[in-house]
Amino acid sequence: MLEKYTALIMEKVSKKRLLQNVNDVARFHRIQASTGFRAAAEFCKEKLKLWGIEAQIQSYPADEEVIFDTYPSFFEWDCKQAWCDLVYPEKRRIADFVGNNISIIQKSIPADYRDKPIDIVMLGKGTRREDYPELPDIKGKIVFVRGMGPQYTWCFEEGALGIIHDYIAETPGVRTRYDLFDTMTYSSFWWGRGSKKGFGFTLSPREGDLLEAACKKAAAEGKCAQVTCFVDSSLYKGSIENVDAFLPGQTEEEVLITAHLCHPRYSANDNASGVSAGMEALKVIKELIDSGELPPLKRGIRLLLVPEFTGTYAYLDKIKEGRKKFMGGFNADMVGARQVEGYGPLTVTDLPMATPSFVCDLAAAVLEEARRDIADMGTGEKLIPMFNSRVAPFSGGSDHQVLSDPSVGIPTLMLGQWPDKYYHTSDDTPDRIDPHVLSKSATILAAYSYAMANMDEEDMLEVMSKGVERFTEKVNGYIKQYKAGKFTREVFYARLKAYCDYAAQSNEDYLRFFTEEQKPHIKELIEAQNAKLTAIAEVMAGPFKEEEKHWKPSVDMQKYNYIPRRTHFTQLQLRNWEGFLTKEQNEILKDYNEKYGMKAMMGPMSQFDYYVNGVRTLGEIMEIIALQTGYEEWEVMEQHVKVMTALGFMEIVG
C-alpha cells in the first residue's frame, strides 16, 4: 500500500503551489516574537483555512519572566528602520535595515546617534573577554569584530554602545568568507532576564574589509574611524505564535508534522520551504480523502508551524501529558534547495538510539517510492531518481531534537538538506528553490504521515522489509569499521549486540499501532522479524570467542554508581538561564563552560540527557555513550551531572 499512497500523493502535489507559498512566506521578516512573524503566521493560517483545513493561532507569552519548562521566553521585538553611516575618514552608508533586514543584528535595542558620531574600536576574532588581556577603552564606543557579533555581548558590560561584525560561518568544501564576499550573515541577540542590552549591525565581508581599511587609515592619523547610526526598534512584553493546523482522524491519536516559520526575510530554503511542504502535505491528504481516492484517517495529522525551538517548547509546556497522543512525527527544515554546488542531498535524519522506533524504516520506505522519477532503460520501470537523497544517523539542531527526547516521547525524524551554501545568510532567496526537490519533500511528509495515521498489517510488513535492508546496511557498516581498525573485536561485539537490542526494541514499537485483539498476532510477526535480524547479524559478523564478548570501558565505573534524574521533561537549553540562577550557580556554570567549552555541549553530549531517566546509573549512561559514539570524556560527563544537579536541573535519586 505504501507504493499506492505515495504514487497518488506524488501525482497530486503541485510544484507551482509549493513555489508560490515559498515566495509568499519569504516576503515576511519572520524574527521570533515579532510583528513580522505574527503577520506570516496569520498568512499561513488563512491560507490553510482557505483550503478547508482547521487552523488557528496558538499564542504564548513573550516575556523575560516566563519559562516554558526548561526554555526561558524573551521579549517581543519590532524594528521600523535602522542604519549606520561611516562619517570618518570616509563617508558612506554601510548598513541599512530597510534595504536589507539582515543588515542589523536582530533584537537590537533603540539607539539614536544621528547627530553624535561614535568612535569605532577594532577587536579581533576572539569572542571571549579573556581573549583581550589588554582590552582597549570601548566605553561609549562601537566595537568592530570579526567573529559572530552576538558572541561579544560582554562588550556591553564593559560599556560599549554597539557592535559591528562581518562574520561568515565557513563550511569546509562548501563556502568560505570569499565565496560570500557580498553576503551578510543572519545574526540575532537572544536577550535573557536582566541582561545588559545593546545594538549592532551586520556587514558583508567586502564591506567589512573596507571598514577595516578605514579604521587603519584613521589610526594612521592618530584618530578613530567614526559612524553615526539610528535604530528605531522596541523590546516589550508581547506574544509568541504557533500556527496549529489539523486533519482529524477517527481516534484521539495523532501524527505530527513540524516546520519552523521563523528567520529573516527571505530565508527561503531555511525555512519557507519546510513551511510550504508541510502545508502542501495537509492539503493533498485532505483532497485525496475528500475525493475518495484514499480512505479516511484513523489518526489525526497535526501541522505545527513554529518559531524554531521556542514554539515547540511552548507547545509541549502547554499540553504536557497531552503529548502522549502523538504516535510519531516529521520535522521539515530546509527541504527545497536546487541541488547544485554547495547544496547537499535531501536527507532523512534518524532517531537517537535512546528512542527506539521503526519510524525511520517507514520514512526510508516512503523515500524509496518517492525516488521513482524516470523509467529504467532496461526494465521500463520507474527506478531512476532525479534528486539526491540519503538516510543519515541522528544529529540535532532543530525541533526534532526536542521531540525525540525519550522524556517527551514523540519519535520524530527530520527531513532536511545539508550542506546549504547560503544557510543563515541574505542570499537564501527564493531563486535557490527547486520545485522538483520541494515536491519530493511534500510527498515524503504526506505519505509518511498518512501511512502512520492508517498503519495496518500490510503496511507494517512492507516497512519491516525495509527494516531488514537497513539493519543489514548497519551491520555491514560495523564490519567495515572493524576491518579498518576503527575499534577492537570486543567493541565490535558490544556495538553489534547493542544495535540488535535497539532493533528489537524498535520493532516492539509497532504494537502501539494495533488494538488489543490484534496484538497477539502482531507480537508473533515481531518475534519472527527479530529472529531474522539476529540470524543476519550472526551470519554477517561471524562467531565471536567468549573473551571477545566482554567489553569494558577504560575506567572503573563503580565510582559512578549513583542514579541521576532530570527534574524537567524537556531537554535543557541553557541559553538565557543566567537571570534565573543565583550568583553562585552562575559562577559554577561559567567555570564549567570555560573549562570544557564545546566538549560539554556538542556531539555525543547533546544526547547525554536522553539517557538520564532516574533508572540508569551515571556509569551505565557513560558506558552507553562511550559504546555508541566512542566518546570517553569521563570527566566531562561526570561534571555535567554535578553541574546540572547544582543548577537544579537534575537530582540524585539513588
What is the domain-level CATH number for residue 132? Answer: 3.50.30.30
Number of domains in the chain: 4
Residues 408 and 285 occupy one common structural domain: yes
Residues 579 and 526 occupy one common structural domain: no
- Of 549, 582, 602, the last residue of a domain is 549
- Position 259 scores a pLDDT of 99
Residues 480 and 535 occupy one common structural domain: yes
- Position 495 scores a pLDDT of 96
Residue (of 430, 429, 393, 432) closest to 414 by Cα position: 393
Within 10 angstroms of residue 318's Cβ, the number of other Cβ atoms is: 14
Contacts of 401 by beta carbon, 8 Å cutoff, 6+ apart: 571, 606
- Position 575 scores a pLDDT of 87
Residue (of 115, 100, 94) closest to 212 by Cα position: 94
Residues 86 and 150 occupy one common structural domain: yes
- Of 179, 209, 236, the last residue of a domain is 236
Residue 633 domain boundaries: 557-652
- Position 124 scores a pLDDT of 85
CA gap 332, 155 in Å, rounded:
37
Residue (of 323, 402, 349) closest to 607 by Cα position: 402
3-state secondary structure of 315: helix
Output the CA torsion sign for 210, 213, 217, 219.
Answer: positive
Q: What are phi and psi of 246, to 5 degrees?
A: -150, 135
Residue (of 396, 414, 398, 415) closest to 610 by Cα position: 396
Q: Which helix (H) or strand (E) holds 477?
A: helix 457-483
Residue (of 395, 327, 404) closest to 570 by Cα position: 404
- Position 380 scores a pLDDT of 87
Distance from the Cα of residue 571 to its chain's centroid: 13
User: What's the CATH code of the domain at 417?
Assistant: 3.40.630.10
Q: What is the DSSP letter of 269?
A: I
Residues 55 and 43 occupy one common structural domain: yes
Residue (of 394, 188, 428) closest to 310 by Cα position: 188
Residues 69 and 106 occupy one common structural domain: no
- Of 424, 454, 484, the last residue of a domain is 454
Cell readout for 243 is 500556527
Residues 576 and 432 occupy one common structural domain: no
Residues 386 and 533 occupy one common structural domain: no
CA dihedral (359, 360, 363, 367) in degrees, to 10, reads -170
- Position 578 scores a pLDDT of 95
- Position 602 scores a pLDDT of 77
Distance from the Cα of residue 410 to its chain's centroid: 15
Residues 261 and 355 occupy one common structural domain: yes
Q: Beta strands 300-306 and 412-417: pairing type?
A: unpaired
Residues 366 and 468 occupy one common structural domain: no
Q: What is the DSSP letter of 339?
A: -
Q: Where are the beta strands (DSSP E) in 253-378?
A: 254-260, 300-306, 326-333, 346-349, 374-375
Within 10 angstroms of residue 321's Cβ, the number of other Cβ atoms is: 7
Residues 200 and 305 occupy one common structural domain: no
Residues 118 and 138 occupy one common structural domain: yes
Low-confidence residues in the chain, pLDDT < 50: none
Contacts of 584 by beta carbon, 8 Å cutoff, 6+ apart: none
